[in-house]
Structure 1
């Protein structure tokens, strides 16, 4: 189904028409199968439609049903840092999806990686009577103020605000994201598959569950293969912190031939950081990154990367909110399997 996945609409949006095309059926038939309203459909055809929907990560458009029911809403979206392409891609996909309706307004707040500012924005959005909230923050300290945030969000939920998250936060609200342990496993597996046996894992400060889960997955994959790995944790976010971290890594482990850049910011900075040590990518060092399609524009050579389905997750959270606001059955949260997007930053290792 790889060709079908690439057939999705603008910004990666998978529509009912994409599913119907992939399954070789009409749009009305695909809709009947996925609504599961008891229409008589051949079992083999049903299976074909459901398989196509699953492989294309299709999520039913609850927002469209909400708007047809005449229930517009204002939704708050809090992102970690607007200068980070990871958050920019989320904001772009969510706002475009909302704008396509002409009736749902998304208020985007930039928390600048400050957990206290995240709570300030939650409070302000609550005061502005948003119908829903999407927490898209990722790379920042998610532990120090966790209890305070939980208490604030519980109050918002009791008042009727529909709260969702796009990363694991240990909060009792619907979460729409990829399996970050699997992200780490896939990244390490790609380097191992290309013959690399000296692997570095480069991350920013490990102050959140996302990065810890990715490191957990990559480390487990290396251990299973009997391969040692070196974990380099940058002391700060941004290119300078990554440059120092990579330089220190090569002082301590000069034999590393493959690097996992475990976040979007790390991925964007990694080729420069490696070249600053006098090495080339992928001639001397292979690099695999993690992030959405936005990072493709920031790296030469283009990164081999693990995609996080950011647009799919953001739209699903918005659909969930729309359904809850309309009083219709909401979509269930999910943990998507990440996918590999080939680039030119990995080469087979020949000792």
Structure 2
């Protein structure tokens, strides 16, 4: 039976990610001591990278695979556009696959892309927090990289992949502080499911900024939902119902940690005749094109979605070592205040 990269990692007592970086090269550095240990294990086991397969993958792949949750979501659509533009400039075709946030579908897609020998895979969907899922995905992607494929991720998917770092936590904290500066003290927060690392990072930013002011959302004012318009509307309905049933005041500010969710929040508040921002301020996250078309225009956190996709392609196609591009692949976040937010009680 052929020796695999996983065998080498176990023999060396290191992670699969470390073994891959030591033998295949990555923008993420490995100490010389660990590299020597991995190489020694590879020699002892007789492991050889599949050079013919690597050469075949590099020479024949004219496609970049893009894995995202939902191409109809403007957040992912913006990223996909950036990937497509950068791929076209490199003379490549981008193949977009929607997984609906299902890690099993993502795993199957990775295996199919591997079988079709795509040049590179861009992971544009949210990373997952489930350890068993992460392990399976890492193993599938390690096998792909072992045969010459390249992988880049948007947001941190772990040390195995070159990553476009996105300031999700920092942006959410900055948005919360901007609302605090307006005078808000009663907050509701709508975030995504716990399985999504992006949702957790953004929530951590909100809670950190609130904690700095000695605040925390009261019971029922922190809602989890899918990052969809329907999810945002249902979460806002629960927030209003909880407040009215318990006799507590409504929040003066609602932070929905995706613009699509925030669109649902605005729809629910409009249906209940609750004025925005006169009674409740609403803010989102991402600054998708729809944000300025909503009524009122949505305050949000702006991410450079297309540039994030372009950076990911550049990372995936980068040849050789060095960290110059990786070090500059940090996607900043900018708070943009529009008509959906105001100081409480100013109307």
Partner of 1:233: 223
8 Å CA contact 2:279–2:345 kept in 1: the answer is no
The structure whose Rg is larger is 2
3-state secondary structure, aligned to 1:106: strand
Partner of 2:296: 301
Gaps of 5+ in 1: 1-69
Return the TM-score normalized by structure 1: 0.73
Structure 1 runs (4+) greater than 6 angstroms displaced: none
Q: Provide the C-alpha distance between the structure 2 equivalents of 1:139 and 1:247, rounded to a whole number of angstroms.
A: 28
Q: Provide the C-alpha distance between the structure 1 equivalents of 2:336 and 2:61, rounded to a whole number of angstroms.
A: 36
Partner of 1:201: 189
Superposed counterparts of 1:201-220, under 5 Å: 201-220=189-208
Q: Provide the C-alpha distance between the structure 1 equivalents of 2:72 and 2:129, rounded to a whole number of angstroms.
A: 18
Q: Provide the C-alpha distance between the structure 2 equivalents of 1:310 and 1:219, rounded to a whole number of angstroms.
A: 24
Quick one: which of 237, 245, 265 aligns to 1:270? 265
Partner of 1:321: 316
Q: Provide the C-alpha distance between the structure 2 equivalents of 1:335 and 1:100, rounded to a whole number of angstroms.
A: 22
8 Å CA contact 1:258–1:285 kept in 2: the answer is yes
Q: How many aligned positions are there?
A: 279
Quick one: which of 110, 123, 144 aligns to 1:122? 110
Q: Provide the C-alpha distance between the structure 1 equivalents of 2:101 and 2:179, rounded to a whole number of angstroms.
A: 31
Q: Provide the C-alpha distance between the structure 2 equivalents of 1:71 and 1:148, rounded to a whole number of angstroms.
A: 27
Superposed counterparts of 1:154-165, under 5 Å: 154-165=142-153
Gaps of 5+ in 2: 1-58, 244-248
Partner of 2:70: 81
Quick one: which of 120, 126, 149 aligns to 2:137? 149
Q: Provide the C-alpha distance between the structure 1 equivalents of 2:321 and 2:193, rounded to a whole number of angstroms.
A: 41
Shift of the alpha carbon at 1:245?
A: 1.6
Partner of 1:250: 240
Shift of the alpha carbon at 1:148?
A: 0.6
Shift of the alpha carbon at 1:143?
A: 5.0
Q: Supply the RMSD in Å over aligned alpha carbons.
A: 2.4
Q: Provide the C-alpha distance between the structure 2 equivalents of 1:142 and 1:310, rounded to a whole number of angstroms.
A: 26
Return the TM-score normalized by structure 2: 0.73
Q: Provide the C-alpha distance between the structure 1 equivalents of 2:293 and 2:261, rounded to a whole number of angstroms.
A: 11
